[in-house]
Amino acid sequence: MRFCRYGSGLLAFDNGNPVGIEEISVMLKMSERSVYHAIQNLVQKKILSKVKSGNDNKYYANPWLFCKEKRGNQDKSD
């Protein structure tokens, strides 16, 4: 994933600035409303998480789905 920061999973540009709905809508040539609903679906399915940071939201990829290293089983019952 190009915009997924290694280690934190933060969706961000190369300079570290978080990627927001506005930027995603421009990149995908979609309305902000459509992007917002798509992100809400991804959050609901636990593919992304949304964290409030001041007046902005930051989005993080689920490390169990997008990590680059082997981390074992997510289910702690083993």
The whole-number average pLDDT for the span 36-42 is 95
Q: How much is the pTM?
A: 0.73
Q: How does the average pLDDT of the chain come out, rounded?
A: 83
Q: Which of residues 38 and 70 earns the better pLDDT score?
A: 38
What is the pLDDT at residue 37? 97
Angle of helix 32-44 relative to helix 21-28, nearest 10 degrees?
A: 110
DSSP code of 68?
S
Alpha helices in the chain (DSSP H): 21-28, 32-44, 63-66
Any domain includes 72: no
∠ CA(54), CA(34), CA(15), 5° rounding? 45
The whole-number average pLDDT for the span 62-67 is 76
Any domain includes 21: yes
Any domain includes 75: no
Over residues 3-26, the pLDDT tens digits come to 877 778 888 898 888 999 999 999
Q: Which domain holds residue 38?
A: 1-66
Domain containing 57 — which CATH number?
1.10.10.10
Any domain includes 16: yes
What is the pLDDT at residue 77? 44
Q: What is the residue type of 71? A: R
